Amino acid sequence: MSIALNAPGTSQLFIGNEAIARGALEAGIGFAAAYPGTPSSEIIGSLAQVAKDVGIYVEWSVNEKVAVEAAAGVSFAGIRALAAMKQNGVNVACDFLSNLVMSGIGKRGLVLIVCDDPSAISSSNEQDTRPVAKWLDIPLVEPGDFQEAKDMTRWLFDLSEELGTICMLRSVTRIAHARGNVKLGELPQIRHKAFFDQVHDLSNLMPTRYIPVPSPVRHLFQHMRLNRAKEKFETVPFNRYVGPRNPELLIVTCGSCWLYSLDAVKALKIDDRVGILKLGTLWPLPEKFIQDHVANAEKILFVEEIDPFLEQNVVEFIASLPSIGRLPAFYGKRSGHLNAYGELNPDTVIKAICSIMNLTYQPRPVDFSSRAESFKKSHVPERSMTFCPGCPHRATFWAIKNALKLDGRNGFVTGDIGCYSMAIGPAGFMQVRTMHCMGAGAGIANGLGKLGQFGFDQPVLAVVGDSTFYHATIPALVNGIYNKSNFILVILDNSATAMTGFQPHPGTGMTAMGEPTDVVSMEALCRALGAKVEVCDPFDLKSTTATLLDMMAQGGGAKVVIMRRECELVRSKKQQAPYRVCVDEKKCIGESCGCDRLCTRVFLCPGLIWDKKAGKAKIDDVICTGCGVCADICPRGAIVKEAR
């Protein structure tokens, strides 16, 4: 269902990201930009789908820094703008953000949405962005449910405009990617003209310009804006209290933990004994509001994901109150009742409450539990993540593995962020030895490639995806070429930002709004920089392996190999499978072959299974996508592919 539905008052089932996008539409944004990153991607994804209909501009920017810079430029010209990203993206954007805070924004609101990923379900780390807002000196809010995700976003544009600063909304996976009821508001009809106003502003006798200097003065201005934000936060409906007048235990919480706390109190049937203070405005803290509710509390439990952000700041505030006599007992991450890592859920909150209040909790009969546990041990095998059937990355890493072995100099792979990160495990034959942030594999290779004088002669393959190449790898490649660092940049070009939902990027020839545009050719770009470039089809295992071997043998500076093959999930939406694949039962002799079941034990495509009774490999026709690559790895030629 469309987020642009013009049906005020109706209830829709939105994921948190759609609710945020709807809130931005209700706020009358004219511009939205982001780089895709789970769990934030659907904000721009859903806005892009309706952009033409509602007359706004939406783009997938090349990275988060450019996204937020572009959005700031739009705000300078008097149009409301939004930038969205995952937690890691904030790091990329922070250099600009720390200066934008000093320069201030334009006449119209600018909002930054950040989706954190507690437990790093789809991330390389689980950093908490809330402390970033604090050190940036910007107002920070966090929605506690889906309705708030929409309402807060809408309201945050007003606040940003009133204060003249960028404001941050932090969400987490269980709001961003969970679904719930959202009652729609009105879509605005007003349209502003974009104009960069250079007229002198009489109030400060300076021409209008957005500059961070003189910094100490600008810094003071920002602190004054924060003080105004604090006053506003005292009365907003996003901060509220539920529970008895004098609770035995007061829970202080925010975000999805608000819903977990409600669930926990309900499951324990103690809503007459426990109060919940739910904060929606997290920085600066609504101090008077907090003071009113903690005045009589004897025990306070902080329930939040990931860092003890509320815990540290609220405790510090309470301890600084002149009227405070005896401090309440504080529980949370510092006391060990909750973890300062990983996501929480109703059960972790239940456990913490039980421990503090000496309660026992038995959600199901003991005999049922022990039966369930025992079946789980005996009848539930592991299910590891892997590349999809037909994924070009499996073939690429197969070729890499064989090429490194044939080369024989202990060559290895420095990795990056994308589906191909799974090559740290059996899916990619454990080939990836380093994995950090976007572009880091190539950066690390730059250092390794300069170690010749220390006797280092191991080939280094820096593996990066196509979208990641444009995002953060180009400077590392320029560095490697200019400084003659010895490594091979292997670009896995599957024509999509596959990990986050197949968003287009500068190599695809399509914009977020579905307009065709000119491709920024990665091979032309690399050649123009002076790199030797080869393009391979990873499904042609033989020639890909030979190209890699040849490039490694050449040495002498940074080189580029592009592995070009469309993501199978994208391809299969457009065309039928290329091959019909089956196992010739006469040729497959199973364990007695001497291949050590190369197809099922090593290659590990989920479309290939082991028929225990027959003692032979078999194709699972529900899973197999007919790529035919396994036919080329079977040493006996027992896997047969027939063109469809």
Partner 1 sequence: MRTKGRWKDPLNLVITGVGGQGNVLISLVVGKALVDAGYFVTIGETYGASQRGGPVMSHVRISKDTQYSPFIPDGFADIVLGMEPVETLRMLSRYGNPSVVTIVNPRPIYSIDVTGGQASYPDLDELMSAIRQLSAKVWVVNATEEAQKMGSAMFANSVLIGALVASKVMPLDKERVELVLRETFPKEIDANILAFRKGMELAKLE
**Can you give the binding site for partner 1, defined by CB under 8 A?**
1, 11-13, 38-39, 121-122, 145-147, 174, 177-181, 256, 259-260, 262-264, 267, 345-347, 350, 363-365, 368-369, 371-373, 375-376, 378-388, 419, 422, 426-427, 499-500, 597, 600-602, 604, 606, 608-610, 620, 622-623
Nearest approach in angstroms of CB 1 to partner 1 is 7
One-letter amino acid of 617: A
According to DSSP, residue 119 is labeled G
Nearest approach in angstroms of CB 213 to partner 1 is 42
Nearest approach in angstroms of CB 298 to partner 1 is 27
CA within 13 Å, CB half, 173: 18
Nearest approach in angstroms of CB 527 to partner 1 is 33
One-letter amino acid of 462: A
The residue (of 91 and 147) whose beta carbon lies closer to partner 1 is 147
The 3-state secondary structure of 1-64, one letter per residue: CCCCCCCCCCEEEEEHHHHHHHHHHHCCCCEEEECCCCCCCHHHHHHHHHHHHHCCEEEECCCH
The residue (of 181 and 410) whose beta carbon lies closer to partner 1 is 181
Q: Evaluate whether 581 touches 626 at the Cβ level (below 8 Å).
A: yes
Collapsing DSSP to helix, strand or coil, 110 comes out as strand
Sign, CA torsion 518/522/525/528: negative
The residue (of 347 and 407) whose beta carbon lies closer to partner 1 is 347
The residue (of 42 and 161) whose beta carbon lies closer to partner 1 is 42
Nearest approach in angstroms of CB 641 to partner 1 is 19
Nearest approach in angstroms of CB 91 to partner 1 is 19
Computed over its alpha carbons, how large is the radius of gyration of the chain? 28
Nearest approach in angstroms of CB 372 to partner 1 is 4
Question: What is d(CA 149, CA 141) in angstroms, rounded to the nearest whole number?
Answer: 10
Q: Evaluate whether 30 touches 57 at the Cβ level (below 8 Å).
A: yes
The residue (of 181 and 543) whose beta carbon lies closer to partner 1 is 181
- H/E run at residue 411: none
Nearest approach in angstroms of CB 362 to partner 1 is 9
The residue (of 211 and 372) whose beta carbon lies closer to partner 1 is 372
The residue (of 41 and 165) whose beta carbon lies closer to partner 1 is 41
Compute how many other C-beta atoms are within 10 angstroms of the C-beta atom of residue 532. 16
Question: What is d(CA 289, CA 241) in angstroms, rounded to the nearest whole number?
Answer: 10
The residue (of 157 and 260) whose beta carbon lies closer to partner 1 is 260
Contacts of residue 114, Cβ cutoff 8 Å, sequence gap at least 6: 40, 84, 85, 86, 87, 89, 90, 129, 168, 169, 170, 171
Compute how many other C-beta atoms are within 10 angstroms of the C-beta atom of residue 368. 10
Nearest approach in angstroms of CB 87 to partner 1 is 14
The residue (of 69 and 117) whose beta carbon lies closer to partner 1 is 117
What is the CA 552 to chain-centroid distance, rounded? 34
Which two three-digit tokens encode residue 590? 């199973």
The residue (of 291 and 386) whose beta carbon lies closer to partner 1 is 386
Among 33, 90, 86, which residue's Cα sits nearest to residue 62? Answer: 33
Which two three-digit tokens encode residue 235? 């009365």
The residue (of 261 and 486) whose beta carbon lies closer to partner 1 is 261
Nearest approach in angstroms of CB 317 to partner 1 is 27
Nearest approach in angstroms of CB 238 to partner 1 is 15
Q: Evaluate whether 245 touches 271 at the Cβ level (below 8 Å).
A: no
Q: Evaluate whether 520 touches 470 at the Cβ level (below 8 Å).
A: yes
